[in-house]
Structure 1
């Protein structure tokens, strides 16, 4: 039993109680801010920033814009997002080591990124072995979601199969019989050309492939390549080169008249990352996939472009859309999963719908490929600058193979 309070003890006890209440009242405004200091959800991102800056600097900006918007709106699951990036030096081994470091030292919750297809494949295998969620944002090889697909890997951008499929109706409509092929000799180029040959032959059985040039990535000898293509006397050319290789090829082809009287179908060339640097050398009339940001009038894209330009005082590139949509996809996946657990996140991504600057996309349950589409049109040199004209958006869902076909290519999760 407690002893009775003395008269002297009562005022002291009251003073202590008064001080305690006052202290809590003084701290109360800090409670919400303390709650906001919960550990962030860390997104570990790996990419070839030094090797491919034209695409990846706008991509980084797109990611940053999405992270800032999401955090300003309260974050995800009551936690803010934090982006932790690493450069893979355009080397698969370095990419895997970066992934290991991000998991072990930075304690990231998810992995994303990669640009070059062979690096994307290395990270796809890493995700399978370590059972960690990986969203391949940019690499285009079909193997990422088909032959080498696994439970933990999903892909955002339309693949080589999808983008080539968008171009095939245009190529068939040309009614050209003799085709020359030009591509960088690594996974992306090989995958794109294999699909082009297969689909064009199926649609136009009498087609002939009369020349094929496959220079190493970043090391095209434009003079010899252009001469070899010209010697074959093709009716049309299918090109898969991009970045500096594309610029060298276009410059030399213009000089030697390779494109005069010949149709060119070209993957990715309509992306401002690659079309803008050509300036007054930009070709006329090429059929391309790309991103005519200046002509897209949908509400989703107009809002994105305004926010991007307001933040960076520059116009968006396709990389900007990919980076932005990557973070938006991860945020939606985390919300649906209610957790950053890789197994729960992988389950949540199956059938996940995400709003992007290109409209709503879905990550297919069958192969983990998103239905993001691309724009198809022709190039035009307007006042010393290359643009896309007569373009249309092709929904990725329209050019993906049927689920039963995918099941023949993809191993079981």
Structure 2
């Protein structure tokens, strides 16, 4: 109860402070009333979604859209108060100068300047419009990102071999069958040799996948479709009546993947052969740092795999690569991960600049990284969770071509 009182108090302090810009720019009473009505209604919805109905960390569509609208309204207000606070420092400084600088008027606080408030509102309009666009269009703005990676010891028969990677479908968040169908078709259009899915098929429950099962069943590749589990697939973030219900949910998710024609790798590996050569495809269960489930077992998955084999590892959380995989002397040539979503928000200028707040949590958060002669690709995700949209970090279909490095004499 105390934390809610503190939260509501801070919320209204920010609200009233940001309102000064609106009040300076416009004297319209209906606009002033609209400002506070929207703020109060949004706060009420936000509190209801967190305290009423579904409990725990389960992300339902209504909870996500409430959170998205909250961000859309609240983040611009934070930008406004930055400008207002800066102006108030100057106003207070002028007041002190008038008091101690010999002015006969004593302490004089200048009125707010309409020019500053107009700039503040204009700047705040940028994240407001971006977050709205992210919910309306950005979440299905699929992008195909292509990479070519060279290896000295790639088996000759796999020179030119192509992999399509998708990750973090989060089917419980989808709300547009036409857009999802387009995304699935886009995956198949790449005509890759194999399709690899690196975890988080659902948000919480296996049933979330049922409306989308027919679409993802259409995924096809010459060497098949393989998958691993992500942290959300285990159903850990909701309360189950019994442990048996939770166990049955996980089994149902496994069965759904089998029915779609996917091969789920549970701390195991398979061989992909071509013209007498082979590569080892290894799939581990979720292993994540910082309190996430650590069910991944490299030792079990690599039983029978030699150090000289060419290896592709599927592991949902990139922190696994950072903490366990990249320095493993078995030399995992390429690791494929997801999990971060690129936070679904950031700025990317291909080949020039890449930033998202998630970089302060994950060292490897989007795209290709190389260290110690090993590669990892962190897919930005196919779906969305939490904020029901994407801004700057778009849903991704990754295509990776394996190349045999030609050593020049």
TM-score between both structures, scaled by the size of structure 1: 0.31
Of structures 1 and 2, the one with the larger relative CO (CA 8 A, separation 6+) is: 2
